[in-house]
Structure 1
Amino acid sequence: MRRLIAILILGLACAMAHAATGVALVHGTGKQTDAANDYWQSAMVEGVRNGLTDKQNLLVVNCDFEQYMWDNRAAGCLAQQLTDFINARNIDRLIVITHSNGGNVMRWILSNPTYDARYPNIIRRIVRVNAIAPSSAGTPLADAVINGNVFESALGWLLGYQNDAVRMQQVSWMATYNQQNLLGTAGRPALPVTFRSVVGTDVTSAVWDGDSYCGGYAQSVGLEITQNWLDSCSDGFINCSSSSAAGSVWFRDTQRTGGGAVLNHNQSRRACFGLESILANDLKG
């Protein structure tokens, strides 16, 4: 009996030794080839990496998220990169951090496990999805773009042109997807893993306010302008009601950021006000 117990303990120790926690950063709308530098930037990526025991267990996804979420260039690309990462690094605990429309692509995979043979293995590995400012219920700005409104050039990365991803994020379109194709919103079955959002509640752009400069002052000014199309509670791109629509709310910006700062939609993909440390510390749990 003692020998059997010893063997079981040794087996458990070996399994734990080979277990690995990994994190994947999933960008938002846009066709990315170097998201680490162009979308997240080094301070954010390395700040999140600090939360990992094995610093190599971090993936920065690069996909074409100008497509509909189910498109092979979007969800298919994401599924393949996650699969390759899981296999190469022996990941059995995966924490996914998404931003903006990346939350929709991730939620497509979670909601439709039979759509692609790669999805179930990915879902089994995911511990949780931390969705930063997800456009879970769409955004009126997508409606405005499709209707031909012109916005500040500083927001080109955010709004793009009349591509399928922007078209998909129109409010009425997302309402249909939430009712028919996606899980996690009110009245729908729950998602198979924890999906929790970080909600940006406002935009600061006053020239005298130092908070306006984190992530770029021009972007803050642009998001202050686009906030005119949105509710009073918004991050300049996503209404709070949209970013809170799927799963649960992890926290609203001011509840955890340094100095109680708000996170506009650009700042929530940046190392602003300690966000990178909040995300890194979460990897340890």
Structure 2
Amino acid sequence: MGSLFLAMLAPGANAADVTGVAFVHGTGQQTNAYQDYWKPQMVDSVRQGLSNPANYTVINCDFEQYMWDSRAAGCLAGQLTSFINQRGITRLVVVTHSNGGNVMRWIMSNPTWDSRYPSIIDKLVRVNAIAPSSAGTPLADAVMNGNVFEQSLGWLLGYKSDAVRMQQESWMAVYNGQYLYGTSGRPGLPRTFRSVVGSDVESAIWDSDSYCGGYAENVGLETTQNWLDDCSDGFLECSSQSAAGSVWFVDKSRTRDREPLSHNQSRRACFRLDTILRSDMQQ
């Protein structure tokens, strides 16, 4: 009986472990990311994979700032620390999206920056980074240059915030080369950082799948995709999403009916993404 019980434990876990999941949003200043960024269907589906589904938190920070800013990484560190302490979390899984991956990498790469970082890293098992902007995006350059993207992508990027400025490709190259771990030629991150890559956008009006996550947003992303590589989610090129850590999977390899995940759909319960993440909670 004892050996059977041990076999049922997740790898790296023991009977005293308490696993929790934190949802870390992308660019923007969030006050209710549960409702506005992820949506309840996504969060509530994923957390059901936990032994105790109450062991979850949804982060609300100001990610319009540079990643190291006290309102960004400092806020994230504070909320993660409170969650870990209040729930007795010993194994932390982070699900993040877009620029949230950069803020998490800042914490993982700079443990001496803030006294709270080492404890968070110690509890951290892995970061499942969905469409992370690890190498930036040409669209951030376009927004900062004040062209049409500033209006068409305002809902997604915000306007000329420091976070958008930071995600310019040349700026991210500097950060990756000097301050962040996990990219080619740099030290590895202290914990697993793996990406889910969104490879395309579909917005055919007759296709019901185009409405998942919001039809208007998908139309906008398909438009901006014209300025990106063929492999992109409408905001980020696949090369940027794949630049840090390892690739967990490219959308079509595991989604329902091999549907692609646009940048908006990859933060929502689209095409069984939520069930994939839910199953991962048990690992």
Structure 1-normalised TM-score?
0.93
Which ranges of 4 or more aligned residues in structure 1 deviate by more than 2 Å?
15-19, 150-157
Q: 1:251 aligns with which of 242, 249, 252?
A: 249
Call closer, same or farther: CA 1:211–1:153 in 2, change over 3 Å.
Answer: farther
Match of residue 12 from structure 1: none
Give the AA of the match of 2:85. Answer: N
- SS across alignment from 1:73: helix
% same residue: 71
Secondary structure (helix, strand or coil) at the match of 1:29 reads coil
**Counterpart position of 1:273:** 271
Structure 1 residue 71 corresponds to structure 2 residue 69: yes
**What CA deviation, in whole Å up to 9, does each residue of 1:182-209 have, x standing for no partner?**
0000000000000000000000011122
Aligned partner of residue 149 in structure 2, secondary structure = coil
Residue of 87, 97, 100 corresponding to 1:89:
87
Which amino acid letter does the alignment assign opposite residue 142 of structure 2?
A: A
Q: Does 1:114 align with 2:90?
A: no
Please tell me whether the aligned partners of residues 110 and 119 of structure 1 are also in contact (alpha carbons under 8 angstroms): yes
Partner AA of 1:149 in structure 2: N
**CA shift at 1:156, angstroms?**
2.5
Deviation at 1:158, TM superposition (A): 1.1
- The 1:47–1:154 alpha-carbon spacing in structure 2 relative to 1, beyond 3 Å, is farther
SS of equivalent to 1:191: coil
Between stretches 119-128 and 201-210, larger displacement belongs to: 201-210
The residue aligned with 2:197 is 199
Q: Give CA deviations for 1:71-116 in whole Å, capped at 9, x if unaligned.
A: 0000000000000000000000000000000000000000000000
Report the CA distance shift for 1:173/1:152 in structure 2 as closer, same or farther (over 3 A).
closer
Is residue 33 from structure 1 mapped to residue 31 from structure 2 by the alignment? yes
Measure, in 1, the Cα distance between the counterparts of 2:184 and 2:249: 19
> 1:167 corresponds to which letter in structure 2?
R
Q: How many residues align?
A: 271
Letter in 2 for 1:282: D
- Encode CA deviations 1:167-224: one digit per residue, 9 max, x unaligned: 0000000000000000000000000000000000000011122221111110110000
2:226 matched residue in structure 1? 228
Tell me, in whole angstroms, the C-alpha distance in 2 between the residues paired with 1:275 and 1:78.
24
Q: Which amino acid aligns with 2:215?
A: Y
| Deviation at residue 151 of structure 1 after TM alignment | 3.1
Q: CA RMSD in A?
A: 1.2
**Structure 1 SS opposite 2:218:** helix
**Code of the aligned partner of 1:28:** G
Larger radius of gyration: 1
Q: 2-side partners of 1:155 and 1:205: how far apart?
A: 16
Aligned counterpart, 1:133: 131
Q: Could you tell me how far apart the structure 2 residues matched to 1:272 and 1:96 are? A: 19
SS in 1 for 2:190: coil
Does the CA contact (< 8 Å) of 1:154 and 1:218 recur in 2?
no
Gaps of 5+ in 1: 1-14
CA distance in 1, matches of 2:153, 2:39: 17
TM-score by length of 2: 0.94
2:258: which partner in 1? 260
